[in-house]
Amino acid sequence: MHVLKEKTDRTLQVKSKEVDATQSELTVLLAGSRKEAVEVAIADVKKLEEKLKILDQQLDLLKLRSPIDGVVTTPYLKNKIGEYIEKGNLFCQIVNLGVVVIDMPIPEKEIADVHRGYPMILKVRGFPSDSIQSQVTQISPVAVESGIERKVLVRSELNNKDAKLKVGMTGVGKIYCGKRTIAYLVTRRLIRWLRTEFWEYLP
């Protein structure tokens, strides 16, 4: 990529000089030349300006931009200098330390009790004495396999201005889903199993 950028820069400089030279010739022609010669010179200037515009666009495509502000976390990024990158390939990872996204896998049999906006309490293993308050911001539309059961990812976003939490940290969490009676908590698994396995026999 670095080599391609240098080549494009050199070509852009050459074309810019050609435009300047052609415009100078045009100025001389306008001072006292035939109409045909002036029209040819004007056409040459327009062609060179179009080429210059295309080169500007190609040079702009070489710039890598991130949709978020953050810190580059990919190590040894300098080793990628001169490396050819296909469109869509990963170049580097950027982390926004100001906001941390929490993904909590919930068993699919429990997901009916979870809704957006419900409060969450998180315990990060790196800071076991701290209780982090948050809330459910998103529930994945897809259940994924996790061991012997399937789970649904529930997402939360935390303000992390002090950069205390790090990407990749793990912990445990609880989601407050409202009050339930003791009888409901004791029998809900059995009731859920009966309704799932024997639903065709139930009224």
Domain 97-201 CATH (choose: 3.40.50.2000, 2.60.40.420, 3.40.50.300, 2.40.30.170): 2.40.30.170
Whether 153 has a pLDDT exceeding 70, the answer reads: yes
Give the model confidence (pLDDT) of 168-196 as tens digits. 888 888 888 877 767 665 666 766 666 66
Cα distance between residue 173 and residue 176, in whole Å = 10
Q: Cβ(85)–Cβ(74) under 8 Å?
A: no
Assign 102 to helix, strand or coil.
strand
Output the pLDDT for position 3: 46
- Look up residue 199 and give its DSSP letter: G
0.85 exceeded by the pTM? no
Q: Which secondary structure element, helix H or strand E, spans residue 29, and what is its range?
A: helix 2-32
- Residue 195, SS3? helix
> What per-residue confidence (pLDDT) applies to 161?
79
pLDDT of residue 196: 66
- Work out the number of other CB atoms within 10 angstroms of the CB of residue 162: 8
Ranges of each domain in the chain: 2-61, 97-201
Residue type present at position 101: V
Q: pLDDT by residue (tens digit) across 68-88? A: 777 777 788 788 777 777 777
Q: Where is pLDDT greater, at 80 or 3?
A: 80
Rounded CA separation 141/138 (Å): 9
DSSP state letter for 184:
H
Average pLDDT rounded to a whole number, residues 146-162: 85
Whole-angstrom Cα distance, residue 158 to residue 134? 7
pLDDT (tens digit per residue) in 193-202:
666 666 665 5
Per-residue tokens: 149: 């059961």
- CA separation (Å) from 50 to 12, 54, 57? 12, 6, 11
**Cα–Cα distance measured from residue 11 to residue 14, given in angstroms and rounded to the nearest whole number:** 5
Which residues share a beta bridge with 132?
122
- End-to-end, the C-alpha distance of the chain in Å comes to 68
